[in-house]
Structure 1
Amino acid sequence: MIELTEGALPVECELTTEQVAALVTARAVRVGPGPRAGLWKVRDNGYVGAAVIGGVEVRITPKTPVDRVFFLLGYARRPRGWRQEEVNAGEHAELLPALAHAYAMAADRALRQGVLQGYLEMEEALPVIRGRIREADQLRRRYGLPLPVEVRYDDYTVDIAENRLLLAASARLLRLPGLAVQTRKTLRHVIARLAGVTALVPGRPLPAWLSSRINTRYHTALGLAELVLRGASYELDDGTAVRVNGLLVEMWRVFEDFVTVALTEALRPHGGRSELQDKRHHLDHGQRVLLKPDLVRYVVDAGGKEIPAAVVDSKYKISAGPGGHGADLYQMLAYCTALGLERGHLVYAKGEAEPYRHVVRGAGIEIAQHAIDLTLQPADLLGAIERLAGSIIRSDGDRELESCRSW
């Protein structure tokens, strides 16, 4: 087992050639040669969680408190419905045991009032008529015979999307290592309560569910269940999907999703419209170089035309290389140039960069560098995002920078 901490120094460990090849292929960690043959240096590669890769169990502890990671994940998915007080990570410092504990408690709490039931559309061949006859299927499959009857009807059952997600997440967590005895006991109890629910087919998309008053008590458990199930796979830079026997979370994606979603909510009262991952802009007239800023805010000008008013890009870590965050500045300069803006905004996690304002020589463009402290309590963290939104709205660069420094 290899135990790592996000952003910490590499750990030296003995690995076989096959194990090194598996770790390098998965890209969940970075592997480099050690001081002697057979000894390797292993460090994190932007992921946190736990997984078994090539027979090696890897555990990566996030540098951000686990309960704060839960908040970032949950808020990005449901900014207006995430209830942090219902997510209890217990005393666990590692992501996987903490997530399993929080999910088990939430699922058990959701099922205490009974298993949720709902209507499910069924299509079957029955000896009696129930619901509506599927006439086309009856003629095609039964060749004019009166029985059985091809029918479609609504069945009131526990076999609905919400319960299928809870069953799948519970079963998956039970297969993973490192869970506390009490957590495993609670998960088994949850599975027993979900008798009659169909297991999900591996590899198929997760079933969709709609938030409603009826399933309110399920909301927190369902949010955590989706984190468990989506954390079982991730995509490499080339788009290749990789399945892992564990749960890994990309912290840069968590940070990016939270900043853009929370900033969209904070900008909403100021009017305009925010577009996430805007792919409508190119750097060149030939439209061969696609630009994809994390957030572009649009407003309507005096002529009734929608125009870009602000551009924001989030960066969880300083770019690697001798230029440090130089590559980030060049990227933002390209965004501002293509969008016709005089100011752009880079948002970092505090500790990776400090607030600063860069003035580009000969271009008349300013790039404001902001820093968000992820260790803040949720309410204070959202307050920092609101102040960031206010600084983006204001056109006075000096006041904007002063607001950044006040954090």
Structure 2
Amino acid sequence: MTVARLTEHAPAVSVPLPDAAGRAIAASRILDTAAPDPYRTGHWTLRAGSKVGAVSLAVPGGDSVVLRITPKVPIARLFFLIGYSLDPRGWRDGDVEVGDHDELLPALAHAVERQVDRALRQGLLQGYRTFEDSALVVRGRIREAEQIRRRFGAVLPVEIAYDEFTTDITENRILRAAVERLLRLPGVPQDVRRRLLHQRVRLAEVSPLLRGQALPVWHATRLNARYHQALHLARAVLGGSSPEHTTGELRIDGFLFNMNKLFEDFVTVALREEYRGTDRTCRLQDPHHLDEAGEIRMKPDFVLYGPEGAPQAVADAKYKTEKSGGYPDGDLYQMLAYCTALGLPEGHLVYAKGNAPHAAHRVRHAGIVIHQHALDLDRGSVGLLGEIRSLARQMASGVTVRSRSEQLPGG
């Protein structure tokens, strides 16, 4: 088995790969770069982008290939971003135990198994579930429309619907699906795999979810409180990018997080939380049009509306800066379009990396000021949320803040 260990946005490495595997990786767009190495026969040049996790490729007639892509941010910080994005009010520091693992998938599998074990210590949760059936006796409610459609006036059997108090409920089905998903993935440590197998036995009487169907919705209540953390992590497992497909005779199976999407979710959810309980409203991925004819569509990540319902501030989250010398100019043009269409004097770009904590640019002949902020993901969760709080305060006030290295005209 060939194992290629990569780090997100790190320099490219040369890895020995069968041509079929290399071509499949290139076609899947898992990596930013996947091309034959021009200097070494039988090697491919691989460079990871913003997707992190593990992918296994089963090569017919050859060894399997495993890609393991490690995030640059610490694993504990990554789980904070995931947990807070999914449940900002229910999240607490230290809720998720990742063990001693420094790679994403082993840490995720460990965390899910621990949370599932904690959820099931008092036994499987029970609840009412509605079943539909054809029966010779009436139980529950008769489905009259279905009886007429299927039975054409016959008395028996009867189409019925009834509620049953059972462990075969949505919460348990989601946990079982997450456990089984992890058991199919490459790179799960043997000790964690054994514990996951034990959890699957505990959930054996629960109906499995069908592949390809939408994940059923569960609602947080007092009755299922002990399941909350496990269900949030299970959602992360089942909702992650899953490159399960076949390219010719080559099967690809894996689990990936898109750091761009994860950072965007964290920033927008955290900003929304800062305005909760105020007279302002927030919209994520808010649809607008740049032109008067309504043909050029755009969706800012975050738009803040004032008490009167008019746009007050706009923000866009950008995980990676592409220019070594500073922020990319293309982001400035995009934010200028947002501000122009929304009629706003200021816009905010939020990065996960940057050479300076803050920069601001006043656009010539327009008077629009575009702010560029850099969040420090190496900081602790309290410090990181403090940065979000400062940003939210600035967006609400509309006050232009100067950085030491800039001078805005008219200041």
TM beyond 0.5 = yes
Where 1:85 maps in the other structure, the secondary structure is coil
Confirm or deny: 8 A CA contact 1:23 1:54 kept in the other structure.
Answer: no
State the match for 1:43 in structure 2: 47
The amino acid across from 2:260 in the alignment is: W
State the match for 1:298 in structure 2: 305
2:295 paired with 1:288: yes
Q: 1:218: how far off?
A: 0.5
Q: 1:143: how far off?
A: 4.4
The amino acid across from 1:287 in the alignment is: G
Which 4+ residue blocks in structure 1 deviate beyond 4 angstroms?
Answer: 320-324
2:277 paired with 1:277: no
The amino acid across from 2:25 in the alignment is: L
Note the alpha carbon deviations across 1:234-258, whole angstroms, 9 max, x for none.
79xxxxxxx9511100001000000
Q: Residues 262-341 of structure 1: matches in 2 within 5 Å?
A: 262-279=270-287, 281-301=288-308, 306-319=309-322, 325-341=328-344
Decide which of 363, 367, 386 is 2:366's aligned counterpart.
363
C-alpha separation in 1, matches of 2:320 and 2:396: 25
Confirm or deny: 8 A CA contact 2:313 2:347 kept in the other structure.
Answer: yes
Note the alpha carbon deviations across 1:113-155, whole angstroms, 9 max, x for none.
0100110111112232211122333344344444332221101
Note the alpha carbon deviations across 1:204-229, whole angstroms, 9 max, x for none.
11111111101000011111111111
Where 2:371 maps in the other structure, the secondary structure is strand
State the match for 1:238 in structure 2: none
Q: 1:99: how far off?
A: 0.2
Q: Residues 189-268 of structure 1: matches in 2 within 5 Å?
A: 189-233=198-242, 245-268=253-276
Q: Structure 2 length as normaliser, TM-score?
A: 0.89
Where 2:275 maps in the other structure, the secondary structure is helix
Where 1:68 maps in the other structure, the secondary structure is helix
C-alpha separation in 1, matches of 2:122 and 2:293: 60
Farther off after superposition, 197-206 or 9-18: 9-18
C-alpha root-mean-square deviation of aligned residues, in Å?
2.2
C-alpha separation in 1, matches of 2:117 and 2:379: 29
Decide which of 384, 394, 397 is 2:397's aligned counterpart.
394
From the superposition, tell whether residues 133 and 45 of structure 1 become closer, same or farther in structure 2 (CA, over 3 Å): same
State the match for 1:349 in structure 2: 352
From the superposition, tell whether residues 136 and 394 of structure 1 become closer, same or farther in structure 2 (CA, over 3 Å): closer
2:101 paired with 1:89: no
The amino acid across from 2:319 in the alignment is: Y
The amino acid across from 1:193 in the alignment is: R
From the superposition, tell whether residues 218 and 245 of structure 1 become closer, same or farther in structure 2 (CA, over 3 Å): same
C-alpha separation in 2, matches of 1:110 and 1:160: 14
The amino acid across from 1:363 in the alignment is: A
Confirm or deny: 8 A CA contact 1:319 1:327 kept in the other structure.
Answer: no
C-alpha separation in 2, matches of 1:139 and 1:398: 70
Q: 1:101: how far off?
A: 0.1
Note the alpha carbon deviations across 1:101-121, whole angstroms, 9 max, x for none.
000000011000010011011
From the superposition, tell whether residues 352 and 96 of structure 1 become closer, same or farther in structure 2 (CA, over 3 Å): farther
C-alpha separation in 1, matches of 2:259 and 2:342: 28
- Which has the larger helix fraction? 1
Q: Residues 8-47 of structure 1: matches in 2 within 5 Å?
A: 8-29=10-31, 30-34=33-37, 35-47=39-51
Q: 1:313: how far off?
A: 0.7
Q: 1:267: how far off?
A: 2.5
The amino acid across from 1:258 in the alignment is: F
Q: 1:78: how far off?
A: 1.6
Where 1:397 maps in the other structure, the secondary structure is coil
Q: 1:46: how far off?
A: 1.1
Confirm or deny: 8 A CA contact 2:361 2:370 kept in the other structure.
Answer: yes
From the superposition, tell whether residues 134 and 287 of structure 1 become closer, same or farther in structure 2 (CA, over 3 Å): closer
Confirm or deny: 8 A CA contact 1:318 1:352 kept in the other structure.
Answer: no
Task: State the number of aligned residues.
Answer: 389
C-alpha separation in 2, matches of 1:321 and 1:380: 26
C-alpha separation in 2, matches of 1:262 and 1:276: 11
The amino acid across from 2:185 in the alignment is: L
State the match for 1:65 in structure 2: 74
From the superposition, tell whether residues 27 and 80 of structure 1 become closer, same or farther in structure 2 (CA, over 3 Å): same
Farther off after superposition, 290-299 or 135-144: 135-144
Note the alpha carbon deviations across 1:375-405, whole angstroms, 9 max, x for none.
2222222121111111212233136x58xxx
Q: 1:300: how far off?
A: 3.6
From the superposition, tell whether residues 293 and 94 of structure 1 become closer, same or farther in structure 2 (CA, over 3 Å): same
Q: Structure 1 length as normaliser, TM-score?
A: 0.90
Note the alpha carbon deviations across 1:283-331, whole angstroms, 9 max, x for none.
2222222121111111144xxxx21111101100114699951000111
Farther off after superposition, 321-330 or 102-111: 321-330
Q: 1:33: how far off?
A: 4.2
The amino acid across from 1:172 in the alignment is: R
C-alpha separation in 2, matches of 1:145 and 1:45: 62
Confirm or deny: 8 A CA contact 1:319 1:328 kept in the other structure.
Answer: no
C-alpha separation in 2, matches of 1:16 and 1:328: 39
C-alpha separation in 1, matches of 2:357 and 2:375: 9
Structure 1 unaligned segments of length 5 or more: list them. 236-242, 403-407
State the match for 1:239 in structure 2: none
C-alpha separation in 2, matches of 1:209 and 1:352: 42
2:188 paired with 1:179: yes
C-alpha separation in 1, matches of 2:350 and 2:163: 49
Identity over aligned pairs, percent: 50
2:142 paired with 1:133: yes
State the match for 2:407 in structure 1: none
